[in-house]
Each structure stands twice: as C-alpha cells, then as structure tokens.
Structure 1
C-alpha cells in the first residue's frame, strides 16, 4: 500500500540532459554570432524586438464527424458566408497580441475574409468598443495554403491575466472541411453572414464545443520577459471530466497557481483526447511523436513541456473503438522508447521535459483496463520516476491514486466515467506541480 500522502513531484535533472540542452543553445549562439555587420545593421536590436509567448493554444486535428459521446461539430462541412466566434481564456496579459491560424489538414487554400479580436462579455457577447480588426501583412484578409499556419499582425490590445477574449472569423467563401480541435470545455458560436464587430450575441444562434482554425493567441509587452509551459498529451491534459465553460482543466488550475504566485509563465494546452504516443487515429489526432514539433516546439517562448502519454496505447486493444484502429498490444519498452524520442527533441531545442506518470486505469467504467495493461503501465511509470531521463516528474498516478488500491483513482477525484479526473482531481494534479521546477 502506498502512503496516503505521497510526494507526487520529483526533480530528476541530470548533468547529461542539461549538457545536451546547453550544447543546443551553444549551437544557436554560434549561429547568431556569425551574422555579418551588414545583417546586424538591417535587423533591430534584440532589446527592441518583442518577446512573444503563447498565452493560449490548442492542438489541431483532422476534420471528423460528431458523435453522441463527443457532440456535434462543423468540421466536415466547414463554413461559407458565415462568422465563427470563439472564446478563449488567456494565461497572462500583455500590451500587444496576435493570433495563430492553422490550415494543417486542409486540402485547398483557406480564405479568411476578415477577423476581429475583443474582450468577452460572456457567451457570444463582446464588450462594446473593444473589438479590433486584425490584419495579415497589412490586409484584412488572408489565404492560408494547405498544411500551413499563419500569424496575424500585431494588435495593440492590452490584456490582463486570465481574462477571456473572443476571436471572430468571417468566411465569405466556402472553406471546405475545417482543421479544428474536437473536444473543448468551451463553447464556440456561428452566425450566418458577416458579424465581426457585433457586440451582442443575437446573430450567433448555433453552438458547438470545438475550436476551428484557431490554434494560438500570443502576447508580448510585459516585464520581466517570460516563457511558455506546454502541457502535451491525451484526454487528461485536454480536460475530459472538467465542467464545460468553468475553466477547470489541469492547465487552467496550473495557470491560476502561476498567476497567484506572480510567476512569469504562460500555459498552453496541447492535449488531444484519445491521443496515443505510438499510433495515429482519424478521430484522436496524429501520434504524439509526429505532432510534437508543431504543437510544442514551434510555439514561441517555450521553456518547458509536461508530457502525459501512453494510457490510450495501453487501453486501446480492449476498447473496440474503430477510431483506435489499429490497436495493437504494446509493450512498456515501445512506450518508453517513444518517450525518449520526445525528450531528445525537447532537449535539442533547449526545452526542459517533465514526465507525467500515467493515471490509474482500473476504475474505468468502459472496456479499458486489463491485467496485462496494468503491468505495462506500472513499468512505464517506474521508468518515468526513476530513470532520470526526464528533467523532472509530475506524479499524476500518485496524486490521483486510492491509497487502499493504487490501481484505482482516489474516491472523490474521479469523473463519472471512472477514469478521468473531476475538478478535485485536476486540482490535485495542478497542486502537485513544483512551480520552481518550471
């Protein structure tokens, strides 16, 4: 039996890992030193350049039909002569912002006719006078090539920590199927026609719990300079089990802790419910090793990544879910080798990697748990805790486990499906993070 008061966070930084990160930074420094004097005269001084961080973000997925479990969405049909208003809560504020839009899974060019950003006044409403027109290379509209992302021009809108913004996109032309994020704990709104600057929400009569094309909100203009923590993983990261609209995901609670402690770190949620580390899924996103660069490393200002993955690889063979095909039996060694691949990629960019142990699986009220799978989970968690491969450990398993049976979640910490954390469970995970280690 484990202690009823485990210590779920452990710092396991190793000289070798730190040396690898330092070497990567040295290469960048040498490259910067090679800039010619002519180049230097043409570029602004480093002190004059804005430092951007990801104040909000999500991971993009292929279009997929809605379902009874996941709710309806508009990704397959896309949009035409419609406005889509999306509400996001940023982590920290700044004096300027920009948005990131993605056509990662589009097969044709995506035409954004116009876009605005403003302060949320609740539901689909915007505080009067706060809507700002966004531009892209000086133009109100832009076209995004298939498989590409773009960033808007800088907008001088001052924002505060943990405030909610609305981003409204208008599509005059047919978009085709939409790159999107399938499961959210927020509501997005749709209106026929152009309603970019509407402060009221009357025109936005349709709703869905998904985000479309919008993959990031980035801020700058604060002192001291700060960085971004990206939480990367599966449904535990994505927020399955959290109350819709309440901002109760693990990352929401971590962001609140950082703001309360006056720590200069933003938090981005790059979780995808159902995601696996070893296999792709048409419904649950590209495998983690393939999407890691786009969803983590290519975001601005990333200092640390928290990784929770492997549970769906272990549970998929029992589920009989067509969205999990193929669903092979996996070994602990396979999952560990994939984790090592993510750690190497992070260290090569000078990013600290924090390993999160896999949550207890035994209590799931759907076919997910097996004795074989429990042996694999135990072996992977032991490696995360003891190998020293990660720079630190967030022990999700011990934060959630029932002291009487550690394969089960602690009573009161679990959602009605018997697997995912509820609000108390997400609070326990966020409380287990050592902020100094970030």
Structure 2
C-alpha cells in the first residue's frame, strides 16, 4: 500500500471518529476548554478578528437578534488565513453573551466560491471529541484539530449550526466580507444554495489556527481602528492593508501570518458600546495572546481626537482628549508589548481634512501626536503613513487618488500604498 494511501486512510479514520462523536462539551467561563490535541502539537496563527458587543453597526447585521430565534439556523463564514498547515481548529467567543451559547455542530472546509465549499475538504469539527459544545456567558472555547490542508492566503469556510436560540451575538461588526445564514441544518451543504441571507459581519468566530505547516519567523499583528479594519475597501476582496502586507511578505520570500486586530471606531482611551473595548483593555487578548506574535503595528488615536468635534449618537464617549493623553495611551501599549518581547511599530495618523470631525483643534492634536511618534524614540520603528498618504498639494488632506470618498478612509489603492510603506525589515 502506498504511503499516500495510508495517509488518506488515517485521515478518513480521524474524520469518521469525529463524525461519530456525540454529547455536548462544556467550555469554562474563564477561558478556552474542550479542545484536545496530541502532546507536542504546536498551533500557529492563521486568522483572527477582535470581538465586540452586539450592536446595530453601520449596516444591517444579526448581532442583536442572534440566531435560531424561531427555527434552527446555520451560519456560514468565509475568512482568509495568512498561515497554512495540514490541520486547523477554531476559537469561538461568547464574551458579550448574557446566556450560555450552544453550538449544536460545526464544520470547516476550503472555500469554493460564495457560500459553496470544496466537498472533499469538508470536515466536521468537535469540541473535546464531542459534536456540540456549550459556551458560558463571558466564555470562549477552542475546537479539536481537524485534518485540513490549507495554503497560506487561502479562504476557508467555517459553518456553525444552532438548534436553539442564541440570544444576542458576540461579533465583529465590519468584516468587509459576506457571512451567510440558512434555516435548518446545513453544516454539510456543499453548494451553498440554501444560504440566501447575508450580512457583512462575523459572529462568534475569533480565530482560526493551523498546525503542520512550515515554521515562520513570527506573527505580525496590525492593531487599530477602522483604517486597519478596512473601511472603504472592496467587499470580499481582502484588500485591507494587513491583507496586502501579508502578500508583500510572501512575495519577498518571507511569508508569515499577519493578523488584523482593527475595530472600526475603536478608541485608545475609552470603551464604546459600538466600537469595542478601549485599546489597552483589549490589547492582551487581541495581540499578546495570539500564537507566535513578534511584532505589532499600532495605528490608532484618530477617533479619540475626532469624536468630540461632532455630536452624533454613535460617536460616544466623546470627551475632549489631549494629545498628551493619547501619547500616554501609546506608552501603555508599548510597555505591554515590550514586557512580552514584542516589537512595536508606530504608524502616524493619516490626514483627514474635509472629514466631519476635522477642526483646527483636532488637526493641532494630530500634528503634535505625529511629531511625537516620529521623534520620541518610544517605538521600535515608525511607518509614516501620514506622509505617504497626503495630497501633494495639501499635506493636511488625504491624497484624492487614495481616498474612498469620506476624506479619511483609504480606498483599495490607498491600502496598497500603506502596505507598501512598511519597511519589512522592521518586522
């Protein structure tokens, strides 16, 4: 019998065992549980998204209503991993849930197109060798590993089945990628035709991790607000600047995982019902606790200096924040990273003249903050996003060639320019 046949038989045996499991695993309130691995298994980062409280967001989503309110439902989500391997597992979060979350079943597969998957790659996921899992309010869980060969920068599809109401859903609001919903149990659906409803958010899924791939020099985390999250980029195209940075690293012959830990509207100094926990409160789980992190690129502070200039219901909290307070927020994050031996690259705040919260006061704060970023020596390296993204005729304005249309968020070309501005040697 050929070695390849033996390997295939072993994989099928594992899959058969997975499918045959029964019962419900239980996660711990304080952290991951359920997942089991062979001794010595090392998991690497593949993909991640920071989780947020349920809210109505910028467009229609399912966070506040949750799933399976009237009938059982299946949720299908597509993400692109930046690290590859021969097996994968997922992490699910019920951090902002008010009741236990039951996942009645889950699968993972390589994506074909839209909600369709490559049928031969479809794998059932288990949690502690059980097909279902209950995650307590405030908790999270990790699945067992499933045999799945996935290449770097390849999309994978994670499908969750709910057989009872979930309540409001912990989610990531601005995914810039479609998620799909269908009534009934469609975990094993290959064509995706049942998934008629879509939104542009991710739900419960916080991480995809891989193992069995080549060792990489270390994970890079992009940490910030909507500009890191990808606001203004093309939907379903993976044109956020962290995605494009991963492509640059691969093209340079130094591929490594790049995780996007941006949240649209996020603040350095204050928690927000709409835009996530403040940067210092989420930095540990969204940066420090990710596998193999060696460097983080920090781009945040625009909302802290801008929200107070406009009286809008969503721009809350909106106190006047000084440049010195923003700098103190940077110093807090730098200290947390350095304590773990992680390099910090500081990004200057982009021009935003013409945007709704550009005033003489907010511009003066941006200038002072950017000068400190460039000259203080507090960061291990600096990427001057403000300089490379400024209009040639007016350094206070975003270059029209890179503007998505709102004077502060880049378009696809702008995000490409940002990724190209990063000195790969600093990572």
Q: What is the TM-score normalised by the length of structure 2?
A: 0.89
Structure 1 Cα separation of the partners of residues 41 and 347 of structure 2: 32
Structure 1 Cα separation of the partners of residues 423 and 155 of structure 2: 26
- What per-residue deviation string (whole Å, max 9, x for no partner) do you get for residues 307-350 of structure 1? 11110011101221212222111111000001000001111111
Equivalent residue for 2:341, pick from 346, 350, 356: 350
Instruction: Please state how far the C-alpha of 1:263 moved relative to its aligned partner.
Output: 1.4
Report if the CA contact (8 A) 2:125-2:143 is conserved.
yes
Spell out the pairing of 1:211-360 with structure 2 (5 A cutoff).
Answer: 211-360=202-351
- What per-residue deviation string (whole Å, max 9, x for no partner) do you get for residues 200-223 of structure 1? 111111000000000111112222
Report if the CA contact (8 A) 2:246-2:255 is conserved.
no
- Aligned residue for 2:150? 159
Structure 1 Cα separation of the partners of residues 47 and 348 of structure 2: 24
Spell out the pairing of 1:126-137 with structure 2 (5 A cutoff).
Answer: 126-137=117-128
Moved segments of 4+, more than 6 Å: none
Structure 2 Cα separation of the partners of residues 107 and 297 of structure 1: 26
Tell me the number of residue pairs that the alignment of Structure 1 and Structure 2 aligns. 388
Instruction: Please state how far the C-alpha of 1:191 moved relative to its aligned partner.
Output: 0.4
Spell out the pairing of 1:158-237 with structure 2 (5 A cutoff).
Answer: 158-237=149-228
Structure 1 Cα separation of the partners of residues 213 and 316 of structure 2: 46
- Aligned residue for 2:405? 416
Q: Determine helix, strand or coil for the equivalent of 1:253.
A: helix
- Aligned residue for 1:434? 423
Report if the CA contact (8 A) 1:227-1:264 is conserved.
no
Match status 1:379 vs 2:357: no
Equivalent residue for 1:404, pick from 379, 390, 393: 393
Report if the CA contact (8 A) 1:226-1:266 is conserved.
no
Q: What is the TM-score normalised by the length of structure 1?
A: 0.86
- What per-residue deviation string (whole Å, max 9, x for no partner) do you get for residues 276-334 of structure 1? 10111111111111111111111111111111111001110122121222211111100
Report if the CA contact (8 A) 2:52-2:171 is conserved.
yes
- Aligned residue for 2:67? 79
- Aligned residue for 2:31? none
Cα RMSD over matched residues? 1.4
- What per-residue deviation string (whole Å, max 9, x for no partner) do you get for residues 57-97 of structure 1? 1110000124xxx2100011111111000000111211121
User: Which has the bigger relative contact order, CA under 8 A and spacing at least 6?
Assistant: 1
- Unpaired runs of 5+ residues, structure 2, are 1-36
Instruction: Please state how far the C-alpha of 1:137 moved relative to its aligned partner.
Output: 0.9
Report if the CA contact (8 A) 1:402-1:409 is conserved.
yes
Instruction: Please state how far the C-alpha of 1:50 moved relative to its aligned partner.
Output: 3.1
Instruction: Please state how far the C-alpha of 1:437 moved relative to its aligned partner.
Output: 1.3
- Unpaired runs of 5+ residues, structure 1, are 1-43
Structure 2 Cα separation of the partners of residues 267 and 355 of structure 1: 16
- Aligned residue for 1:41? none
Q: Determine helix, strand or coil for the equivalent of 1:191.
A: strand
